[in-house]
Each structure stands twice: as structure tokens, then as C-alpha cells.
Amino acid sequence: MIERSEAAGGVIITASHNPIEWNGIKFVRSDGTFFTSVDCNNLFDLADRNKPIKDSKQPGMFFPDQNSILKHSIKIVELSTIDAKAIRDSNFKVVIDAVNGAGSTALPLLLEHLGCDIVKSTVKVMVNSIVARTLARSFRKVKKICY
């Protein structure tokens, strides 16, 4: 998305079913790749200097894109490192339990483009509440489907 929009960079806010210490902010470079450790250290050094931030000469732009997940899924399938034909020819059956995260929307779209037979788990998990009982239900469903 960053590269296609010609933005100078981006920020991804993460929060998930994982413990709170795994939530955070990911910084993205203009080429769409994540910051390296050097980039992060430079940013942290700049923040530590506590200098006032200059106002922009003009406001930035906001481009809402309701189809960004679909576009990204298609772009992934088109990567030269993905053998989409081999995946389609394999007739994979895939069970999804994305724990109500971003994968709940993105993964089915990606797998549909790869011709996979998708089985979505109906397990509902509250944020930060993965417990053995919930995982056991997921595993039972996978076992029932696959065996």
C-alpha cells in the first residue's frame, strides 16, 4: 500500500489476541518494507532529542480504500515466488481460525485466489483470552474435517 500510494512511509498499529506486550507500532519505509533496526534507532534518536516538530507546509492526504485487502491478496498471488498454479492444482483444504484478527478477512480472500477449499472455524475468542479450552475446540474441528 505504501509503495503504491507513493507515501514517504507508513505506520501499522497492531493489537491482537496475543498478550498485550506483543501489541505495538510497526514503521514502514517508502518501498513498503519494514524499518530495519538502524532505521528504528535513527527514529528513536530523533524522538529522544525532543525537538519541536515543524508544521507541514500543506496537509497530508487520506485515501480510504475499502478494497485494500483484496488488492493486497491479488498482489501476493501474483508474486513470482508464489507458484499459484501448483497451489491451485493441489486442491488444498484449509481450516482457518484467525482468532477474529485481521486474518479473518484477509486469509479467506488470499486462499480463494489460490483455489483452496476453505473451512472457517467458528471459534470466537476475546482479545487477550486464548485458553486451552478454546484451542482444544479448534483442534477438534480440524481433526473432524481432516480425518
Does residue 68 carry a catalytic annotation?
Answer: no
Task: List the grid coordinates of 99.
Answer: 482468532
| 16, 104, 121, 138: the active-site residue | 16
- CB distance 8 to 30 below 8 Å: yes
Cβ-proximal residues to 73 (8 Å cutoff; 6+ apart), any chain = 106, 109, 110, 113
CA distances for 25 relative to 12, 15, 21, 98, 100, angstroms = 6, 9, 11, 20, 20
Task: List the grid coordinates of 144.
Answer: 473432524
Catalytic center residues: 16
